[in-house]
Amino acid sequence: MIGHAALVLLASFAGAVLSAALVALIAHGIGRRDAELIDGTLRIYPNRTAIWVVVVIGIAITAGGAAIVMASSSLAGLLAALLGLAIAGFMALSLNPAHDVIWTYEFIEGPSQLFGPSLGLRRARLVWSDLFRSGKTASGYWYVEGRNGQRIYWSYLYSGHPMFLMQLRLSRPDLDLPDDLQG
C-alpha cells in the first residue's frame, strides 16, 4: 500500500506532468500565429495563455501542498507546495516584456540570460552578421550567439517563432541550426 507522503508527491508530479501536457497542446497551435509588426520591428513573445495555464496549475499545487501541511505537518506536502511555487514563479517570469524577441533586417534583440529553467531579464542586441553559432539548452531554449559571446534565447512557446526562424534562415543561411530547427 502506498503511504500518504508518496501519494502527495505522486499527485504533485501528476500536476507537473498535466501542466506540461496542457502547454504542449496549447503550443501546438502557437507556431502558426504570425509575429507582430510594431514600429518597423517584428516581435515574438511567449504565449500568454500557455504561461497563465502553468502559473494557475503551479498555484493549485502550492495550495494543495499547503493544505496538506496545515492538516498533517507533512514533509511531502511542504515539498509539493515548494514545487508548485517554483513552477508558478519561473513561468510567471515569462510574462515580462524583457522576454520578447524583436528583429529588423539589421538586428535581433531579445533575452540574453538564463535564470534556472527560465530566462532572466537581461537583453542583448546583435547584428545578424555577427551571429556565429546557434544551439539548444538543456531546458529546451534555442539560441543564437554573437561573436561577443552574447546569446539571444527563444522557444517553441513563442507565438510566431516560425517567422523568426524564416528570417534567421534568410539572414544567415550559413548558420548551422539545432536538429529540431532543420527542415
100-153 pLDDT tens trace? 999 999 999 999 988 776 788 899 999 999 999 999 998 889 999 999 999 999
**34 φ/ψ angles, rounded to the nearest 5 degrees:** -85, 160
Residue 49 has pLDDT above 70, yes or no: yes
Is residue 76 very low, low, confident or very high in pLDDT (cuts 50, 70, 90)?
confident
Is residue 3 very low, low, confident or very high in pLDDT (cuts 50, 70, 90)?
low
pTM equals 0.76
Q: Report the b/e string of 120-145 with b at 16+ CB within 10 A.
A: beebbbbebebbbebebeeeebbbbb
Where is average pLDDT lowest: 34-38, 104-108, 156-160, 164-168?
Answer: 34-38
pLDDT of 38 reads 82
Mean pLDDT of the chain: 85
| Residue 83: closest CA among 164, 155, 11 | 11
At 77, list the grid cell.
506536502
Domains of the chain: 4-32+47-95 (no CATH), 97-181 (2.30.29)
| Residue 45: closest CA among 120, 110, 127 | 110
pLDDT of 31 reads 47
Residue with cell 501519494: 7
pLDDT of 183 reads 63
pLDDT of 173 reads 94
Q: What tens digit of pLDDT does each residue of 79-96 get?
A: 989 999 999 998 898 899
By 3-state DSSP, what share of the chain in percent is helix, strand and coil, each rounded to 5?
A: 50, 25, 25
More confident residue, 182 or 59: 59
Instruction: Summarize the confidence of residues 29-57 as an average pLDDT.
Output: 81
